[in-house]
Amino acid sequence: MNHPGEIAPLSVLAKPDIALITSVAPAHLAAFKNIEEIAREKASIAKGLKGDGSVIINQSITTAEVLKFEIVSYNQKVIGYGSRGCSSKILNIDEIKNWLHVGGLVEGEEHNFCLNTSSTHFAENALGSLVVVKKINCDVKKACESLQSWRPGIGRGSIKKINVRNVGLIELIDDGYNANPTSVSAALETLSKSKSKRRIAILGDMKELGPSEVDFHKSIASLASMAKVDCVYTVGPLMKNLHNSLPKEKRGQHFKNSLEVVPELSSILKRGDCLLLKASLSVGVSVISDAISDLEG
Protein backbone atom coordinates (compact mmCIF):
# COMPACT_ATOMS: atom_id res chain seq x y z
CA MET A 1 0.00 0.00 0.00
CA ASN A 2 1.44 3.37 -1.00
CA HIS A 3 -1.49 5.56 -2.08
CA PRO A 4 -5.10 6.31 -1.04
CA GLY A 5 -7.92 4.10 -2.26
CA GLU A 6 -5.78 1.03 -2.81
CA ILE A 7 -6.81 -1.35 -0.02
CA ALA A 8 -10.63 -1.23 -0.04
CA PRO A 9 -11.09 -2.51 -3.63
CA LEU A 10 -8.71 -5.39 -2.94
CA SER A 11 -10.62 -6.25 0.23
CA VAL A 12 -13.93 -6.21 -1.66
CA LEU A 13 -12.38 -8.50 -4.26
CA ALA A 14 -10.91 -10.98 -1.76
CA LYS A 15 -13.80 -10.92 0.77
CA PRO A 16 -11.61 -12.04 3.71
CA ASP A 17 -12.99 -13.59 6.89
CA ILE A 18 -10.46 -11.82 9.07
CA ALA A 19 -7.85 -9.05 8.76
CA LEU A 20 -4.74 -8.17 10.77
CA ILE A 21 -3.19 -4.70 11.07
CA THR A 22 0.18 -4.90 12.81
CA SER A 23 1.42 -1.33 12.43
CA VAL A 24 0.81 2.12 10.99
CA ALA A 25 4.05 3.96 10.26
CA PRO A 26 4.89 7.37 8.74
CA ALA A 27 5.62 5.86 5.33
CA HIS A 28 4.34 7.01 1.92
CA LEU A 29 3.63 10.49 3.29
CA ALA A 30 4.24 11.82 -0.20
CA ALA A 31 0.74 10.48 -0.96
CA PHE A 32 -0.93 11.04 2.43
CA LYS A 33 -1.35 14.23 4.47
CA ASN A 34 -0.51 12.59 7.78
CA ILE A 35 -0.22 9.28 9.61
CA GLU A 36 -3.92 9.37 10.52
CA GLU A 37 -4.78 9.22 6.82
CA ILE A 38 -2.53 6.17 6.50
CA ALA A 39 -4.43 4.57 9.39
CA ARG A 40 -7.77 5.27 7.69
CA GLU A 41 -6.49 3.70 4.49
CA LYS A 42 -5.35 0.58 6.34
CA ALA A 43 -8.66 0.40 8.21
CA SER A 44 -10.49 0.32 4.88
CA ILE A 45 -9.53 -3.35 4.66
CA ALA A 46 -12.72 -3.79 6.73
CA LYS A 47 -14.87 -2.82 3.74
CA GLY A 48 -14.73 -6.22 2.08
CA LEU A 49 -14.87 -8.41 5.18
CA LYS A 50 -17.70 -10.91 5.45
CA GLY A 51 -20.58 -10.00 7.74
CA ASP A 52 -19.21 -11.87 10.73
CA GLY A 53 -15.61 -10.85 10.09
CA SER A 54 -13.15 -9.24 12.49
CA VAL A 55 -10.19 -6.90 12.21
CA ILE A 56 -7.37 -7.61 14.64
CA ILE A 57 -5.27 -4.54 15.42
CA ASN A 58 -2.12 -3.81 17.39
CA GLN A 59 -3.64 -1.63 20.10
CA SER A 60 -0.26 -0.37 21.32
CA ILE A 61 0.32 1.83 18.25
CA THR A 62 -0.44 5.55 18.37
CA THR A 63 -3.19 5.41 15.74
CA ALA A 64 -5.14 2.56 17.37
CA GLU A 65 -8.13 4.79 18.16
CA VAL A 66 -8.29 6.02 14.56
CA LEU A 67 -8.23 2.42 13.35
CA LYS A 68 -11.01 1.39 15.72
CA PHE A 69 -13.25 4.32 14.77
CA GLU A 70 -12.87 3.61 11.05
CA ILE A 71 -13.33 -0.17 11.36
CA VAL A 72 -16.51 0.26 13.41
CA SER A 73 -17.82 2.63 10.72
CA TYR A 74 -17.72 -0.38 8.36
CA ASN A 75 -19.85 -2.30 10.90
CA GLN A 76 -17.03 -4.72 11.63
CA LYS A 77 -15.74 -6.06 14.94
CA VAL A 78 -12.38 -4.90 16.34
CA ILE A 79 -10.12 -7.21 18.36
CA GLY A 80 -7.15 -5.51 20.00
CA TYR A 81 -3.87 -7.00 21.11
CA GLY A 82 -0.59 -5.74 22.51
CA SER A 83 -1.59 -3.12 25.08
CA ARG A 84 -1.88 -3.54 28.85
CA GLY A 85 -5.67 -3.91 28.93
CA CYS A 86 -5.85 -6.50 26.16
CA SER A 87 -6.44 -10.23 26.69
CA SER A 88 -3.65 -10.85 24.15
CA LYS A 89 -0.30 -9.29 25.04
CA ILE A 90 3.38 -10.02 25.52
CA LEU A 91 4.35 -10.68 29.13
CA ASN A 92 8.10 -11.18 28.79
CA ILE A 93 10.84 -11.31 26.16
CA ASP A 94 14.36 -12.69 26.61
CA GLU A 95 17.01 -12.42 23.88
CA ILE A 96 19.53 -15.28 23.86
CA LYS A 97 22.07 -15.65 21.04
CA ASN A 98 19.90 -13.82 18.47
CA TRP A 99 16.78 -15.78 19.46
CA LEU A 100 13.75 -14.21 21.16
CA HIS A 101 12.09 -16.29 23.85
CA VAL A 102 8.61 -14.86 24.28
CA GLY A 103 5.87 -15.46 26.83
CA GLY A 104 2.44 -13.98 26.44
CA LEU A 105 -1.32 -14.24 26.53
CA VAL A 106 -3.43 -15.16 23.51
CA GLU A 107 -7.06 -14.36 24.30
CA GLY A 108 -6.29 -14.94 27.97
CA GLU A 109 -4.39 -18.21 27.54
CA GLU A 110 -0.66 -18.37 28.37
CA HIS A 111 1.65 -19.43 25.54
CA ASN A 112 5.39 -19.40 24.83
CA PHE A 113 7.21 -19.21 21.51
CA CYS A 114 10.68 -18.62 20.07
CA LEU A 115 11.72 -16.52 17.07
CA ASN A 116 15.01 -16.66 15.19
CA THR A 117 15.67 -12.92 15.50
CA SER A 118 16.70 -10.34 18.09
CA SER A 119 14.31 -7.68 16.71
CA THR A 120 11.50 -7.37 19.25
CA HIS A 121 8.95 -5.90 16.82
CA PHE A 122 8.74 -9.34 15.21
CA ALA A 123 7.41 -10.66 18.53
CA GLU A 124 4.48 -8.23 18.33
CA ASN A 125 3.74 -9.33 14.77
CA ALA A 126 3.92 -12.99 15.81
CA LEU A 127 1.48 -12.33 18.64
CA GLY A 128 -0.96 -10.81 16.16
CA SER A 129 -0.72 -13.92 13.99
CA LEU A 130 -1.47 -16.11 17.01
CA VAL A 131 -4.62 -14.10 17.72
CA VAL A 132 -5.67 -14.88 14.14
CA VAL A 133 -5.00 -18.58 14.77
CA LYS A 134 -7.18 -18.46 17.89
CA LYS A 135 -9.94 -16.57 16.08
CA ILE A 136 -10.20 -19.21 13.34
CA ASN A 137 -10.31 -21.99 15.96
CA CYS A 138 -6.96 -23.56 15.10
CA ASP A 139 -4.34 -24.97 17.50
CA VAL A 140 -2.40 -22.06 19.05
CA LYS A 141 0.13 -24.38 20.70
CA LYS A 142 1.05 -25.93 17.34
CA ALA A 143 1.28 -22.46 15.82
CA CYS A 144 3.70 -21.44 18.57
CA GLU A 145 5.84 -24.49 17.82
CA SER A 146 5.86 -23.72 14.09
CA LEU A 147 7.14 -20.19 14.72
CA GLN A 148 10.53 -21.72 15.54
CA SER A 149 11.02 -22.49 11.84
CA TRP A 150 10.27 -18.90 10.75
CA ARG A 151 13.15 -16.81 9.43
CA PRO A 152 13.18 -13.12 8.39
CA GLY A 153 13.15 -12.75 4.61
CA ILE A 154 16.07 -11.45 2.58
CA GLY A 155 16.50 -7.77 3.38
CA ARG A 156 13.85 -7.98 6.10
CA GLY A 157 16.07 -8.08 9.17
CA SER A 158 17.90 -11.36 8.76
CA ILE A 159 21.01 -11.71 10.94
CA LYS A 160 23.98 -13.78 9.85
CA LYS A 161 27.65 -14.17 10.67
CA ILE A 162 30.09 -13.80 7.78
CA ASN A 163 33.83 -14.49 7.79
CA VAL A 164 35.04 -11.65 5.55
CA ARG A 165 38.38 -12.14 3.82
CA ASN A 166 41.17 -9.98 5.29
CA VAL A 167 38.76 -8.72 7.96
CA GLY A 168 37.48 -11.62 10.04
CA LEU A 169 34.11 -12.60 11.47
CA ILE A 170 31.36 -9.97 11.43
CA GLU A 171 27.63 -9.98 12.07
CA LEU A 172 25.35 -8.56 9.35
CA ILE A 173 21.81 -7.30 9.96
CA ASP A 174 20.38 -7.20 6.44
CA ASP A 175 17.32 -4.94 6.59
CA GLY A 176 17.54 -3.09 3.29
CA TYR A 177 14.18 -3.94 1.72
CA ASN A 178 12.40 -0.84 2.98
CA ALA A 179 12.76 2.05 5.40
CA ASN A 180 10.61 4.59 7.20
CA PRO A 181 11.19 6.43 10.49
CA THR A 182 9.53 3.69 12.54
CA SER A 183 11.36 0.78 10.92
CA VAL A 184 14.72 2.58 11.04
CA SER A 185 14.21 3.23 14.74
CA ALA A 186 13.42 -0.47 15.30
CA ALA A 187 16.48 -1.56 13.30
CA LEU A 188 18.80 0.74 15.23
CA GLU A 189 17.33 -0.56 18.49
CA THR A 190 18.26 -4.09 17.37
CA LEU A 191 21.77 -2.93 16.45
CA SER A 192 22.20 -1.18 19.80
CA LYS A 193 21.60 -4.48 21.64
CA SER A 194 24.36 -6.32 19.78
CA LYS A 195 27.20 -7.66 21.92
CA SER A 196 29.71 -7.07 19.10
CA LYS A 197 32.92 -5.06 19.53
CA ARG A 198 31.63 -2.26 17.27
CA ARG A 199 28.12 -1.39 16.17
CA ILE A 200 28.05 0.34 12.80
CA ALA A 201 25.26 1.23 10.39
CA ILE A 202 25.02 1.99 6.70
CA LEU A 203 21.78 3.93 6.28
CA GLY A 204 20.27 4.92 2.95
CA ASP A 205 17.49 7.33 2.05
CA MET A 206 13.96 6.83 3.38
CA LYS A 207 11.73 7.56 0.38
CA GLU A 208 8.17 8.89 -0.03
CA LEU A 209 8.08 10.87 3.23
CA GLY A 210 6.63 14.05 1.78
CA PRO A 211 7.33 17.64 2.92
CA SER A 212 8.88 16.56 6.24
CA GLU A 213 11.45 14.23 4.66
CA VAL A 214 14.45 16.35 5.68
CA ASP A 215 13.32 16.55 9.32
CA PHE A 216 12.64 12.80 9.43
CA HIS A 217 16.21 12.10 8.31
CA LYS A 218 17.74 14.58 10.75
CA SER A 219 15.74 13.16 13.65
CA ILE A 220 17.50 9.79 13.45
CA ALA A 221 20.52 11.39 15.11
CA SER A 222 18.53 12.01 18.31
CA LEU A 223 17.21 8.45 18.77
CA ALA A 224 18.13 6.97 22.15
CA SER A 225 19.57 3.87 20.48
CA MET A 226 22.17 6.02 18.71
CA ALA A 227 24.05 6.34 21.99
CA LYS A 228 25.23 2.75 21.55
CA VAL A 229 25.99 2.99 17.82
CA ASP A 230 29.67 3.63 17.15
CA CYS A 231 29.59 4.88 13.56
CA VAL A 232 27.01 5.66 10.87
CA TYR A 233 27.74 5.73 7.14
CA THR A 234 25.09 7.40 5.01
CA VAL A 235 23.94 6.85 1.42
CA GLY A 236 21.89 9.18 -0.78
CA PRO A 237 20.96 12.88 -0.89
CA LEU A 238 18.36 12.71 1.89
CA MET A 239 20.69 10.90 4.27
CA LYS A 240 23.16 13.75 3.84
CA ASN A 241 20.90 15.54 6.34
CA LEU A 242 21.53 12.82 8.91
CA HIS A 243 25.25 12.86 8.13
CA ASN A 244 25.39 16.58 8.93
CA SER A 245 23.37 16.08 12.14
CA LEU A 246 25.59 13.37 13.62
CA PRO A 247 28.25 14.14 16.22
CA LYS A 248 31.71 13.98 14.64
CA GLU A 249 32.73 10.89 16.58
CA LYS A 250 29.85 8.90 15.03
CA ARG A 251 30.02 10.40 11.54
CA GLY A 252 31.26 7.96 8.93
CA GLN A 253 31.71 8.69 5.26
CA HIS A 254 28.79 9.89 3.13
CA PHE A 255 28.19 8.23 -0.24
CA LYS A 256 26.10 9.41 -3.17
CA ASN A 257 24.87 5.89 -3.92
CA SER A 258 25.23 2.28 -2.80
CA LEU A 259 27.74 1.35 -5.50
CA GLU A 260 30.20 3.88 -4.06
CA VAL A 261 30.20 1.94 -0.78
CA VAL A 262 31.34 -1.40 -2.24
CA PRO A 263 35.03 -0.59 -2.86
CA GLU A 264 35.27 0.96 0.62
CA LEU A 265 34.03 -2.09 2.52
CA SER A 266 37.52 -3.32 3.35
CA SER A 267 38.25 -0.04 5.14
CA ILE A 268 34.81 0.20 6.78
CA LEU A 269 34.68 -3.29 8.27
CA LYS A 270 36.70 -4.58 11.21
CA ARG A 271 36.81 -7.96 12.92
CA GLY A 272 34.02 -8.30 15.46
CA ASP A 273 31.75 -5.65 13.92
CA CYS A 274 27.98 -5.78 13.81
CA LEU A 275 26.83 -4.01 10.63
CA LEU A 276 23.28 -2.84 9.97
CA LEU A 277 22.14 -2.20 6.39
CA LYS A 278 18.91 -0.18 6.22
CA ALA A 279 17.33 1.85 3.39
CA SER A 280 14.38 2.09 1.05
CA LEU A 281 14.46 -0.55 -1.66
CA SER A 282 15.28 1.87 -4.48
CA VAL A 283 18.52 2.88 -2.74
CA GLY A 284 19.80 -0.60 -3.56
CA VAL A 285 21.84 -1.42 -0.47
CA SER A 286 21.40 -5.06 -1.50
CA VAL A 287 24.52 -4.56 -3.66
CA ILE A 288 26.42 -3.93 -0.42
CA SER A 289 25.03 -7.09 1.16
CA ASP A 290 25.91 -9.07 -1.97
CA ALA A 291 29.43 -7.63 -2.00
CA ILE A 292 29.97 -8.63 1.63
CA SER A 293 28.76 -12.16 0.86
CA ASP A 294 31.17 -12.30 -2.09
CA LEU A 295 34.02 -11.48 0.31
CA GLU A 296 33.22 -14.50 2.49
CA GLY A 297 35.97 -17.05 2.81
Written as one string, the DSSP assignment of 148-161 is GG--PPTTTTEEEE
Condensed to tens digits (0 to 9), the pLDDT of residues 84-128 reads 899 999 999 999 988 999 999 999 999 999 999 999 999 999 999
pLDDT at site 1:
82
Q: Angle, nearest 10°, between helix axes 64-73 and 35-43?
A: 40
Residue 2's pLDDT band (cuts 50, 70, 90):
confident
**pLDDT at res. 247:** 98
What are the boundaries of each domain within the chain? 7-149, 158-294
pLDDT of residue 297: 77
- The mean pLDDT value for 282-294 works out to 97
Q: What is the CA radius of gyration of the chain?
A: 20
Claim: this prediction has a pTM higher than 0.85: yes
Residue burial 222-247, b: 16+ Cβ < 10 Å; e: rest: eeebbeebbbbbbbbebbbbbbeebe
Domain 7-149 falls in which CATH fold? UDP-N-acetylmuramoyl-L-alanine:D-glutamate ligase (3.40.1190)
Closest CA to 108 of 77, 130, 138: 130
CATH class of 158-294: alpha beta
Flag whether pLDDT at 51 surpasses 90: no
Q: What is the pLDDT of residues 171-230, one digit of tens each?
A: 999 999 999 999 999 999 999 999 999 999 999 999 999 999 999 999 999 999 999 999
Q: What percent of the chain has pLDDT over 90?
A: 95
- Distance, in Å, from the CA atom of 126 to the CA atom of 132, rounded to the nearest integer, reads 10
| Residue 263, pLDDT above cutoff 80 | yes
